[in-house]
Amino acid sequence: MKNSINTKRFIEKLQESAFTYTLISIIIGFIVGAIALLIAGYNPIESYGKLFGVIFRSTKNISYSFIEYSVPYILTGLSVAFAFKTGVFNIGAEGQYVMGSVAAMLVGAFVKAPAYIHIPLCIIAALAAGALWGGLVGFLKIRFGAHEVLCMIMFNWIAYYFSNFIVNLDGVNVGGGKTWSVPIADTAKITISDWLPGLSPKAHFGVFIALICVVVIYYIINRTTLGFKLKAVGFNRSAAEYAGINANGSVLTALSISGMLASLAGALQVMGVTYKVSQFAGQEGYGFQGITVALIGGTNPFGVLLGAEFFGAMKFGGTRFDAPSEIVDIIMGCIVLCIAISSLLRMMISSNKKNKGGV
Amino acid sequence: MDQLLKTLGIVLNATLMYTPPLLFAALGSCCSEKSGVINIGIEGMMTIGAFTGAAVGYFSGDPWLAFLCAGLAGMVFALIHGFACITCKADQTISGTAINFLASGIAVYVCRLLFAGNTETHPVPNKLPRIFNGLFEWCNANLGGKWGEAFAKNGFLDNVFNTYASAYIAFILVLVIWFIFYKTRFGLRLRAVGEHPQAADTLGVNVSLVRYICVALSGFLAGLGGASITLATVSVYRPSIVIGQGFIAIAAVIFGKFKPQGAMLGCILFGFCNGLKVVVGSSGSIPVNIISMIPYVVTIIALILFVGKAHVPAANGKPYIKSK
């Protein structure tokens, strides 16, 4: 008897938890992916088996999936999620990411210092660039009433061409008609696979920095006055202002922090994986995919972490896949769509409960 | 003088090349946002339109059929967005983001299936027609050639007015949409639904239906926008072809304060700056990447100096939940 009550409570709790819906969404995403695979003439069970087989095949692949491919998504996802909490849609993470990578590349290549100074210096430069790039949008919004989404879309492109401009400057360009920058100095590299040969070649300790960021952002949102203010502004700007919170200041702070997170992703990618900045042919999409990750994670920092690991692993699996790798995009799109739709399900279940309670 | 006119002709020619895809998409975005549904998925709908246009154009050889199919393909994705946002009351930004992912994934996926693993389609045999092709040359030849350089082949008039049919359709559609918005009963309802759905509902307007129509229309227009890239400007689809233009179109709508005529100005501003880029870029004195920033910087400056705060439709982004 007691047992059945516990089970009932457990089921109720499950019904209320966002995690359940995310899980269901992921399953539906894979089912749609399976249909797409069937249409293309692949055996979905075999293909999925291969996909997960690749991800977990060796420590090297696990390191690829969960470190190399995931770290930038953790940070851009956090960036978007954090801005969401303040009611700002940070579609500008893409540009902030690019500015961070350019700043880290410049300091990494042209400053000479021992590693214990050089690495922090690169990171600080990137953070400054990101805070500036994010904060500038906040400033335009506050001072001129400019629409932040519009500004961010513009800023993404300005950052994109700015990066291409820098990469092609004499002295920065590696020369010989190549379309990438000079490499950063060895003292600025953060790769750890030299010490841990089992890992993928470009595993880097940026993963620890990303994990620290997850905890710090969680702490800021849930345990500090700043986080409280930001959330209050996000929920109801007028009410927050009435309560004496400086809404403009909050937006500026949130966008700066958000910008720093995205730019950190760019910096770590340069310092740990690419060692240089290449001329873009199209936007790389780390920032835009950060939006997806933030949504899969339900804008909760730890959710974002899981979402990013999942996303990164799928991306890596997709590159070693016999079916077209775009299947990953289709699956991800379905998952996000289902997460969006699931709010209806949740509403139906909760209203059902209320009705029962009333009678 | 003639030289200046010729240069201006080239700039305007490029302007009219870049503007129509944006304009179609911007009009689409306008329809959707006016009725209170944020449509971030414009980018994805353009992508699927661009691909469908190129694929149908290649297999059928009929650019108009391809153009229509592209619109319908965009509409299918818009209806998914509509189902999520209107029926399921989903978060509109989330749904739009999902549509972007889904559409670009499916476009490339199907492209690989149809074109032997390539992410690029084969070129379409027939592009959309240029309506006034040869007209000005004819004038020049038959009117004694005394009308000067402006009438010559690749002269000013030829450059400006001899563009693809899609450009003309786009500009005519601005008028049509403006008329629908501000001069018809449906337009009044549409705006009411976007500003105050409760009030509209009390007066017997079917909020969901109006929103569905608007979202479907936005997808159709965005699809046309995508196809006007692959069926006019270039003749193939490749994954990088749309990138960012859907977002630029959304930017143009915000810039134009959610009015079709304003959105058109935004699109022309973008197109014109891109046209300038072609001319200034060929002179080689300024790095091309700096010139490429011009449209975006100009937009921000214009936004700060002249446009000011946009009036967003009051119910934009809010699902309508009927009270009992």
Please state which CATH number belongs to domain B2-129+164-307.
1.10.3470
> Over 90: is that where the pLDDT of B315 sits?
no
Distances in Å between the Cα of A219 and the Cα atoms of A83, A213, A306 are 15, 10, 17
Give the closest residue to A340 by CA, choosing from B251, B13, B81, B32: B81
The C-alpha angle with vertex A136 and arms to B307 and A220, in degrees rounded to 5, equals: 125
pLDDT of amino acid A146: 81
**Out of A91, A324, A332, whose CB is closest to B101?**
A332
The residue type found at A193 is S
pLDDT of amino acid A76: 96
**Out of A281, A324, A333, whose CB is closest to B112?**
A324
- Structure-token match 């896949």, residue found: A321
Half-sphere exposure of A192 (CA within 13 A, CB side): 15
pLDDT of amino acid A354: 55
Q: Which residues of B touch A40 (CB under 8 A)?
A: 109, 113
**Out of A145, A283, A347, whose CB is closest to B308?**
A145
Cβ pair A354, A347 in contact under 8 A: no
pLDDT of amino acid A264: 97
Cβ pair A319, A325 in contact under 8 A: yes
**Out of B87, B98, B112, whose CB is closest to A333?**
B98
Cβ pair B183, B169 in contact under 8 A: no
pLDDT of amino acid B20: 93
pLDDT of amino acid A111: 92
- Interchain contact, B255 vs A281, CB within 8 Å: no
- Interchain contact, A332 vs B293, CB within 8 Å: no
The C-alpha atoms of residue B31 and residue B187 are separated, in whole angstroms, by 10
pLDDT of amino acid A270: 95
Give the closest residue to A89 by CA, choosing from B102, B93, B310: B93
pLDDT of amino acid A343: 67
Sign of the C-alpha dihedral computed for residues A51, A52, A56 and A62 taken in this order: positive
- Structure-token match 């400019």, residue found: A146
What pTM was estimated for this model as a whole? Answer: 0.87
Residue of B nearest to A144 (CA): B304
Greatest mean pLDDT range, A341-345, B50-54, B228-232, B254-258: B50-54
The C-alpha atoms of residue B245 and residue B224 are separated, in whole angstroms, by 13
- Structure-token match 């950052």, residue found: A159
pLDDT of amino acid B278: 77
Average pLDDT, integer, range B133-145: 69
Would you say how long chain B is, in residues?
324
Average pLDDT, integer, range B275-287: 76
Q: Please write the tens of the pLDDT for every residue from B200-215.
A: 999 999 999 999 999 9
Q: Please write the tens of the pLDDT for every residue from B238-251.
A: 888 887 888 889 88
Q: Which residues of B touch A149 (CB under 8 A)?
A: 250-251, 254
For the stretch A252-255, contacts whose Cβ atoms lie closer than 8 Å and that sit 24 or more positions apart, written own/partner, are: A252/A135, A252/A138, A252/A139, A252/A142, A253/A226, A254/A82, A254/A83, A254/A85, A254/A86, A254/A88, A254/A138, A254/A230, A255/A83, A255/A88, A255/A90, A255/A134, A255/A135, A255/A137, A255/A138, A255/A148
| Of A83 and B9, the one with more pLDDT | A83
Residue of A nearest to B98 (CA): A333
What is the DSSP code (8-state) at residue B85?
I
pLDDT of amino acid A110: 94
Half-sphere exposure of B191 (CA within 13 A, CB side): 15
Cβ pair A198, A189 in contact under 8 A: no
Taking chain A (359 residues) in runs of 10, the rounded mean pLDDT of each run is 68 72 89 91 89 88 89 96 88 95 96 93 97 94 84 91 92 85 92 78 89 96 91 87 89 94 96 90 84 87 94 89 84 89 69 52
Q: Which residues of A touch B289 (CB under 8 A)?
A: 161-162, 164-165, 168
Average pLDDT, integer, range B153-157: 70
Give the closest residue to B173 by CA, choosing from B109, B122, B218: B218
Q: Which residues of A touch B105 (CB under 8 A)?
A: 326-330, 332-333
pLDDT of amino acid A358: 41
Residue of B nearest to A292 (CA): B97
Please state, as a whole number, how many other Cβ atoms lie within 10 Å of the Cβ of residue A169: 11
The C-alpha atoms of residue B283 and residue B268 are separated, in whole angstroms, by 23
**Out of B84, B105, B296, whose CB is closest to A326?**
B105
The C-alpha atoms of residue B259 and residue B30 are separated, in whole angstroms, by 7
Rounded to 10 deg, the angle between the B260-283 and B165-183 helix axes is: 150
- Interchain contact, A282 vs B243, CB within 8 Å: yes
Greatest mean pLDDT range, A229-238, A346-355, B41-50, B123-132: B41-50
Domains and CATH numbers, chain A: 60-311 (1.10.3470)
Picking from A99, A157, A162 by the largest number of B CB atoms within 10 A of its own CB, the best residue to mutate is A157
The C-alpha atoms of residue A253 and residue A229 are separated, in whole angstroms, by 11
